[in-house]
Structure 1
Amino acid sequence: MTENDLLWLPARELVELQRRREVSAREILDAHLAQIDAVNPKVNAIITLAEDRARELAARADAAAARGELLGPLHGLPVAHKDLAPTKGIRTTYGSPLYADHVPDHDALVVEQLVHAGAVTVGKTNVPEFGAGIQSTNELFGPTRNPYDLSLTAGGSSGGAAAAVATGMVALADGGDTGGSLRNPATFCNVVGLRPSVGSVPMWPAKDPFAPLSIQGPLGRTVDDVALQMAVLTRADPRSPWALGDPSRFHAGLEDDFSDVPVAWSPDLGGQLAVDDAVRTAMAPVPEALAGITRRAGVAAPDMSGADEAFRTLRGWYRALNYGDRYAAHPEAFGIRVRQDIENGLATTSAGLMRAHKLRGLLFQRFAEFTREYRYLVTVTTQVLPWSAEQLWPERIGHTRSENYLDCMRSMYWFTVLGVPALSVPAGFTADGLPVGVQIIGRSGDDLGVLRLARQIERTLGAGRRRPAVALPVMGSGTDDARVTGGGTGSAPVTG
């Protein structure tokens, strides 16, 4: 087995190889560190490398394996943590100049959970400032670039995490999602990202531990890799009121029969969404794939009216709660994206907040009625394709001009408001070789069902097996080919 083989094996297979003592955690880590050296300068996904910490954790994993033990479900797997999650002894900047040299004295719960399960921390992944943006760029580190075309964005706010997973620099990564920050970069980078149900993943630290808008979750190259992480991330913790479910259900397997399960398909939610023509075209194989999975596939969409106002009001309010004090002290240190959010939140009235919650309640009731007829909804993940890495947001969505970065996120944040599980899985490619994902939304608490349907779609369409050329060994003369340096088709078919 070569170092390159170790980069692309599913997570469970890597753990099993270590259990059988056929490969060590150190060997797996060395392969991934070599990939980081080769690829990260091109994509700028990992902005803080923690090699010493990684080697300590890999040695710990190997010592346990020598005793005939595994540390947990993620034994010896290289992972990277989003730069919004505090990491003890490892620089955490939140993408802000205010925290350029900040080194926390504690780990976020998501980091604790992954490391406790045997994962090997290799570093931190790039984000927009305080996570406010659909483009992972900031004044400290610049933009993360799309592995399939280096001139374009990898998305955000978990863009660094998605790009690192897509290029084989880490086996798994954690991220966070408020308006689509797990799902958007997943579709742009051709990986799997799950925004779990509210109440499934505990979060700490948090200014408001009951806040229902933002949630942490997993990124992986396959649906099974994401399910494996969910078995770790959903474990209850007394510092959080959430995660009261049974994590063991995610070990139950992803095989299921959907032949008699009603599934709705709508690429634009019945005309409620503006969607680029290129995205629609790339999604053309999806209806046929669904018809092969269930005989009860139909075309339908829930009424999402009120979702825009509810989300934008609540998002602004929570931004002001989390960052308002720092903004008051250092307004000059904040970029336009997070500044707009905070100012909107500070301007929110009690009447506006009450109206947002009322709209949210009505929306949830309508969606609950919709899912009595259709168990799952399948739609686009993103309304647009990746745009220039130098722009904060795309200028247009279809024929509609964008006023701010939230405008192209409606396909995702409308479902954030509901608190339901929403997952992006690779679905296809444009003629120019850019990946497009499909979004699966289920009933509240049915995260496992969403994963199981996603596994069927993943198997049927097979788009996730196509790797970016920038991540693959260059054959021949040893010089980069045109696909690696950006522009044009930036992917190559790889099976397995």
Structure 2
Amino acid sequence: MPDDSISLLPAHEIARRVRAREVSPVEVLDACMAQVDAHNGTLNALVTMNHGARDEAEALERRIARGEDVGPLAGLPVGIKDVTEVAGVRTTYCSPLFTDHVPTEDAAVVRRLRAAGAVILGKTNTPEFAAGGNTWNHVFGRTLNPWNPERSAGGSTGGGAAGLATGMFALAQGTDLGGSLRIPASFCGIVGLRPSVGLVPTWPQEYAWDPVQVTGVMGRTAEDVALGLQSIAGPGEYAPLAQPVAGRDFGAAVRGADVRGKRFAYCRDIAGIGIDPDVERVCRDAAFALHDAGARVEEIDLDLAYARKPFLALRGHWFVSQLYPYLDRVDEFGVNVANNVRAGLKVTPTELAEAEVTRKRIWEEFRALFRTWDQLLTPTMAVPPFPVVENFPRTVAGKEMETYIDWVAPTFVLSMTGLPVASVPAGLDAEGMPVGLQIVAPPQGEERALATAGIVQRLRPLPHPPVLSHGG
């Protein structure tokens, strides 16, 4: 029988044990598959398995036996979001238009994960074309939350978050346009990082010069995210946007983290939509707990509500650009994607210009903020995980939302900045559901965001999700 406990170890510890030959890649894979067998039938996190995963693990095992260095992700099973191509593995974009699509080559991020020694376990559930903060689609259905299967796992990387929280894989790859790595991280009690635009190449995609969506990873710990990021960051041959990585060591930043003397600003509601009082309480407690680590924390007023409407213009433009080859088939998309494309087709040049001017304004506002503060802390979500049968929550703290996407404004207004933003578990609310805290760092400040996330995790540790003790 496989040792299921291996699957719940931090990814960096699993990789260390594999490199030290204390456990083999096949044993790690078996442990993760035991978790898939136990919990995926309930949670619906993985939607397509990579049937070559065992061959990949066995090949790594032979290389290790020969004394080869197989890379920093040695034997780590990884879940790949089903909008990211894996050669020979069905990739549907969770859309009925592509139910039988099998790519012939890996996406750039998958190539890098493989080169670093990872094993591709399978594809994780997401809304159609990653459109939405609740993971459901007409191809595979809904992903459920491992803390309460009646609640949403968040989205759009919801399958990655639910599978990661339950040990189905050690790292989860995903994308983030308006919060898709941070929302499910908050709802499922794990760490997600939206990296700077261009730090990780997103290829292939139709919108090659995309200034908003990014590719990244989620992990059970900040150090795990750092390990994954180290393996996938850097300029790409086909990606025109890039960030420098030479000399950067994300893992060392987490391991050597020290916030003594650092200045943190805390803002309770950056998007002006209101916030659930219990969610805010948990985030406030976590933010001010950094005092215990020697930091200075003060509450500030920061109103980014002006960025909400301009972001929706950019979002609409993104959907039209990304799905341009299929504009004649809009009626075949699900309601969320179809409505986003139709909204994008109505965006005017003036509205796009306003959006770009707003991005300049928010960039300059953060430049000014970082002259006084080292990082910004703010709740990831304004609401706790809501019933999974709802497409989205209609109200926040009793206030009706203006649009179906407005409830994720606390994440999407920060997407406008292009800055690195982490979501780290801040604690549990009164119903025992995870609450995430966002950490916004200065330009090229992934190390700082992850270092602070690591300290928050040490100060505010979470137990394992209840589904692990209750069974599948």
Structure 1 and Structure 2 fold alike (TM over 0.5): yes
User: What is the aligned partner in structure 2 of residue 315 from structure 1?
Assistant: 315
Q: Residue deviations 1:325-376, cap 9 Å, x none?
A: 4132x23311221122111111111121111111111111111101111110
Which residue number corresponds to residue 140 of structure 1? Answer: 139
- Paired-residue identity, %: 38
Q: CA deviation at 1:273?
A: 3.5
Runs of 4+ in 1 over 3 A off after TM superposition: none
Structure 2 partner of 1:36: 36
Residue 187 in 1 paired to residue 186 in 2? yes
1:121 aligns with 120
Q: In 2, Cα distance between the equivalents of 1:363 and 1:111?
A: 33
CA distance in 1, matches of 2:465, 2:110: 28
Cα offset for 1:93?
A: 0.6
- Contact map agreement 2:186 2:380 (CA 8 A) in 1: yes
Q: What residue in structure 1 maps to residue 426 of structure 2?
A: 427
Decide whether the 8 Å contact of 1:45 with 1:125 is kept in 2.
yes
Partners of 2:281 and 2:337 in 1: how far apart? 33
Q: Secondary structure at the match of 1:285?
A: helix
Aligned residue pairs, count: 470
Q: Which runs of 5+ in 2 are unaligned?
A: none
Distance 1:209 1:20 in 2: 40
Q: Which moved more, 1:16-25 or 1:140-149?
A: 16-25
- For 1:489, the equivalent position in structure 2 comes to none
CA offsets 1:217-254 (integer angstroms, 9 cap, x no match): 11000000000011011132211123342264224342
| Structure 2 residue aligned with 1:105 | 104
What is the distance in 1 between the residues matched to 2:347 and 2:294? 45
SS in 2 for 1:436: strand
CA distance in 1, matches of 2:304, 2:2: 50
Worse-superposed segment, 334-343 or 75-84: 334-343
How far 1:382 moved relative to its partner?
Answer: 0.5
Could you tell me how far 1:387 is from its partner in structure 2? 1.2
289-298 or 79-88, larger mean C-alpha shift: 289-298
Q: Say if 1:162 and 1:295 are closer, same or farther in 2 by CA, change over 3 A.
A: closer
Query: Partner residue of 1:152?
Result: 151
Q: Hey, what does 2:274 align to over in structure 1?
A: 274
Question: Partner residue of 2:286?
Answer: 286
TM-score w.r.t. the length of structure 2 is 0.96
Aligned equivalents of 2:351, 2:403: Cα separation in 1: 21
The structure-2 alpha-carbon separation of the partners of 1:288 and 1:296, relative to structure 1 and needing over 3 Å to count, comes to closer
The answer (yes or no) to whether the contact 1:201–1:242 under 8 Å persists in 2 is no
Aligned to 2:326: 326
Alignment match, 1:371: 370
CA contact (8 A) 2:273 2:396 kept: no
User: What pairs up with 1:383-398 in 2 under 5 angstroms?
Assistant: 383-398=382-397
Letter in 2 for 1:468: P
**1:392-436 superposed Cα distances (whole Å, 9 cap, x missing partner):** 101211121134431111100010000001110011111211110
Query: Hey, what does 2:14 align to over in structure 1?
Result: 14
In structure 2, the partner of 1:471 is 468
- Superimposed CA distance per residue, residues 179-222 of structure 1 (whole angstroms, 9 cap, x where no aligned partner): 00000000100000000011311111122322111001110000
Check conservation: 2:250, 2:446, Cα contact below 8 A: no
The answer for the alignment partner of 2:259 in structure 1 is 258
For 2:13, the aligned partner's letter is E
Give the conservation status (yes or no) of the 8 Å contact 1:134–1:405.
no
**For residue 76 of structure 2, what is the aligned residue in structure 1?**
77
- CA displacement at 1:69 relative to structure 2: 1.8
The AA in structure 1 aligned to 2:19 is R
Partner of 1:490: none
> Separation in 2 of the partners of 1:195 and 1:244?
14
Cα distance between partner residues in 2 of 1:317 and 1:287:
35
Query: Aligned to 1:365, what secondary structure does the other structure show?
Result: helix
**CA displacement, residues 31-58 of structure 1 (integer Å, 9 cap, x when unaligned):** 11111011100000000011x3101110
RMSD in angstroms over aligned alpha carbons?
Answer: 1.6
Distance of 2:105 and 2:445 partners within structure 1: 32
Deviation, 1:284, is 4.4
Kept after mapping to 1: 8 A contact 2:206/2:323: no
CA distance in 1, matches of 2:71, 2:242: 19
Q: Secondary structure at the match of 1:431?
A: coil
Give, as a single letter, the amino acid of the residue that structure 2 aligns with 1:78: P
Distance in 2 (CA, whole Å) between partners of 1:25 and 1:203 is 28
- 1:152-203 CA-partner distances (Å, limit 9, x unpaired): 1101000000001001100111010000000000010000000001131111
- Give unmatched runs, 5+ long, in structure 1: 475-479, 485-496
CA change 1:338–1:361 in 2 (3 A) is same
2:344 corresponds to: 345
Q: Which amino acid in structure 2 is aligned with residue 18 of structure 1?
A: V
* Contact 2:130 2:156 survives alignment (8 Å): yes
- After superposition, what is the alpha-carbon deviation per residue over 1:292-351, rounded to whole angstroms, capped at 9, x for unaligned? 2344211114342431122111110110111144132x2331122112211111111112
Tell me how far apart the structure 2 counterparts of residues 295 and 27 of structure 1 sit (CA, whole Å). 42
Check if 1:382 corresponds to 2:381. Answer: yes
Match of 1:436 in 2: 435
> How far apart, in 2, do the equivalents of 1:469 and 1:256 lie?
30
Change in 2 beyond 3 A, CA 1:303/1:394 = closer
Is residue 374–residue 441 contact of structure 2 (8 Å, CA) maintained in 1? yes
Which residue of the partner structure matches residue 233 of structure 1? 232
Letter in 2 for 1:260: G
SS at match of 1:95: coil
State the match for 1:27 in structure 2. Answer: 27
1:302–1:366 contact (8 Å) kept in structure 2: no
Contact 1:305 1:363 in 2 (8 A): no
Instruction: Give the secondary-structure state (helix, strand or coil) at the position aligned to 2:216.
Output: strand
